């Protein structure tokens, strides 16, 4: 796995990232490889930092994934890791951090005027945990405004610079896909982690709600907001699952004999032909490896889950952005509308939405027991052309509201040669099962 791009990225890469490699090139390594190389002493954390700085110098002018990057700060972190008494589990692993996640040593600006250059003084809990394990925080990655707004960012899709990388975790997904960091942190309230994973041809993981602390992440909807994680190899996400102490759950060795539900969801009509085809191809590849792929039609109560998601986001956004609107009259209308309850969400509607989501969550716990994982689209289709619209979260919001783990596996492409991800979902706390099955699925796709 060393000295190379993960194959999905390699295959589709729009830029010339192929380096002449005559010694270990930390820039192109996965997190697992970096940890192994740094632990063995073949490279230092400072080597990793220098390679990362070089990669960013090369790719950033095109991709524009970063909202903040300070090469000297990265070097200083690396020097500290190299000077440490012992190496942590993530020593030398490069991490991009979405700019709605607090970092004590870099501004957290939320892609909004009020917070330009504002320092939070403390790290978000997830960043703190990563640093404690020896990770190097590379920089802050571009987000849509407050990870909630329509105001997108400058980031371009590394697979085609004319296309969006998706949002709201635009910069994190693109930075990982372009090799500017090994892994990255995003967030998801609708489809902000899984959709960009699909668009950028990388692995994306939305953990079980609250299984990883979301302290220090901008709040939009407490019910839906979840940390998201990106990597080019599934092993990196599994390494992060170890560091974040996720619960054990079954980790099958192969797809042979697994029961995989193919779930088109009640919003299947939002999918494009490319994704419908990808789902069919995915099913074929899984069957080719001995998996039993069976159709799963969700019970009719799930039909209203999308409506419940819309209501809950409206209700929770109203509280979440009250202070921002009071402080910033010039904030985008979208936030004024949320705070002003422009949708006129009533308490009755909110109570209904919570109760409905709760019922579906319990129902899904039961349904999911009948399968090793549920396979479902990670996006509606390929990344759209243009940067103004970061794509449609319709395929994701139902799983977000269910608070279940979702892992998007890369490898398939659409008619424009752009990546298409397939999501693997399990019941709550079975994140490790979703991770391993997504990894096996990606392998099956590669092997075609």
417 CB-near residues (< 8 Å, 6+ apart): 12, 159, 160
Q: Would you say 17 or 104 has its CB closer to a copy of itself? A: 104
| Residue 192 annotated in active site | yes
Q: Using CA atoms, how far apart are residues 286 and 447, in angstroms rounded to an integer?
A: 11
Q: Is 422 helix (H, G, I), strand (E, B) or coil?
A: strand
Q: Using CA atoms, how far apart are residues 114 and 111, in angstroms rounded to an integer?
A: 9
Minimum Å gap between C-beta 53 and a copy of itself is 27
DSSP conformational letter for 219: P
Minimum Å gap between C-beta 214 and a copy of itself is 7
- What are the CA-CA distances from residue 204 to residues 10, 102, 241 (Å)? 17, 21, 13
**Residue ranges in contact with a copy of itself by CB under 8 A:** 115, 118-123, 125-126, 128-129, 132-133, 210-215, 218-219, 222-223, 244-245, 247, 249, 316, 318-320, 322-323, 326-327, 339, 347, 350-351, 354-355, 358-359, 361-362, 365, 427-430
Minimum Å gap between C-beta 106 and a copy of itself is 12
- The structure tokens listed for 121 are 């003084």
| Residue 168 annotated in active site | yes
- Burial code (b: 16+ CB inside 10 Å, e: under 16) for 86-123 equals ebbbbbbbbbbbbbbbbbbebbbbbbbeebeeeebeeb
Is the bond preceding 168 in cis, omega lying within 30 degrees of 0? Answer: yes
Q: Would you say 57 or 122 has its CB closer to a copy of itself? A: 122
- The structure tokens listed for 164 are 């969006």
- Report H helices in 64-192: 71-83, 125-132, 170-177
- The structure tokens listed for 307 are 């409506």
Catalytic choice (44, 59, 109, 168): 168
Q: Give me the residue label for tokens 């085809």.
A: 277
Catalytic choice (28, 98, 109, 249): 98
Minimum Å gap between C-beta 426 and a copy of itself is 10
CA of residue 153 relative to chain centroid, distance: 16
Minimum Å gap between C-beta 163 and a copy of itself is 33
- The structure tokens listed for 116 are 């330009």
Minimum Å gap between C-beta 322 and a copy of itself is 6
Q: Using CA atoms, how far apart are residues 175 and 160, in angstroms rounded to an integer?
A: 14
- The structure tokens listed for 256 are 């042979």
Minimum Å gap between C-beta 189 and a copy of itself is 14
| Residue 98 annotated in active site | yes
CA of residue 434 relative to chain centroid, distance: 14
Q: Give me the residue label for tokens 């979208």.
A: 334
Q: Would you say 211 or 438 has its CB closer to a copy of itself? A: 211
Q: Would you say 65 or 401 has its CB closer to a copy of itself? A: 401
Catalytic choice (28, 44, 192, 221): 192
Residues carrying an active site annotation? 98, 168, 192
């Amino acid at each position: 796995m060393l000295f190379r791009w993960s194959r999905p990225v390699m295959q589709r890469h729009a830029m010339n990232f192929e380096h002449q490699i005559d010694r270990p090139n930390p820039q192109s390594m996965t997190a697992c490889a970096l940890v192994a190389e740094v632990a063995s002493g073949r490279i230092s954390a400072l080597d990793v930092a220098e390679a990362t700085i070089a990669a960013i110098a090369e790719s950033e002018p095109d991709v524009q994934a970063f909202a903040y990057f300070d090469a000297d700060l990265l070097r200083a972190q690396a020097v500290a890791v190299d000077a440490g008494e012992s190496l942590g589990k993530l020593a030398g692993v490069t991490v991009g951090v979405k700019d709605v996640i607090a970092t004590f040593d870099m501004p957290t600006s939320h892609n909004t005027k009020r917070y330009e250059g504002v320092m939070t003084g403390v790290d978000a809990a997830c960043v703190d945990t990563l640093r404690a394990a020896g990770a190097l925080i590379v920089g802050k990655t571009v987000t849509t405004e407050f990870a909630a707004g329509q105001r997108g960012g400058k980031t371009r899709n590394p697979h085609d610079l004319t296309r969006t990388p998706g949002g709201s975790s635009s910069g994190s997904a693109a930075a990982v896909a372009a090799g500017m960091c090994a892994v990255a942190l995003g967030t998801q309230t609708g489809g902000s982690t899984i959709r960009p994973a699909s668009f950028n041809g990388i692995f994306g993981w939305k953990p079980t709600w609250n299984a990883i602390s979301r302290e220090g992440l901008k709040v939009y909807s407490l019910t839906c907001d979840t940390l998201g994680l990106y990597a080019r190899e599934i092993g990196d996400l599994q390494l992060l699952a170890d560091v974040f102490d996720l619960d054990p759950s079954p980790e099958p060795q192969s797809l042979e004999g697994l029961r995989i539900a193919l779930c088109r969801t009640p919003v299947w009509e939002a999918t494009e032909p490319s994704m419908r085809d990808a789902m069919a191809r995915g099913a074929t590849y899984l069957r080719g490896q001995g998996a039993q792929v069976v159709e799963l039609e969700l019970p009719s109560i799930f039909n209203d889950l999308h409506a419940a998601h819309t209501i809950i986001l409206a209700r929770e956004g109203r509280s979440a952005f009250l202070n921002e609107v009071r402080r910033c009259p010039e904030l985008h209308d979208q936030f004024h509308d949320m705070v002003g309850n422009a949708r006129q969400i009533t308490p009755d509607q909110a109570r209904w939405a919570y109760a409905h989501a709760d019922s579906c969550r319990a129902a899904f716990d039961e349904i999911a027991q009948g399968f090793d994982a549920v396979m479902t689209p990670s996006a509606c289709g390929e990344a759209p052309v243009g940067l103004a619209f970061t794509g449609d979260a319709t395929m994701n919001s139902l799983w977000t509201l269910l608070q279940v783990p979702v892992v998007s596996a890369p490898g398939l492409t659409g008619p424009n040669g752009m990546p298409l991800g397939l999501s693997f979902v399990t019941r709550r706390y079975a994140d490790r099962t979703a991770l391993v099955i997504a990894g096996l699925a990606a392998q099956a796709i590669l092997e075609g």
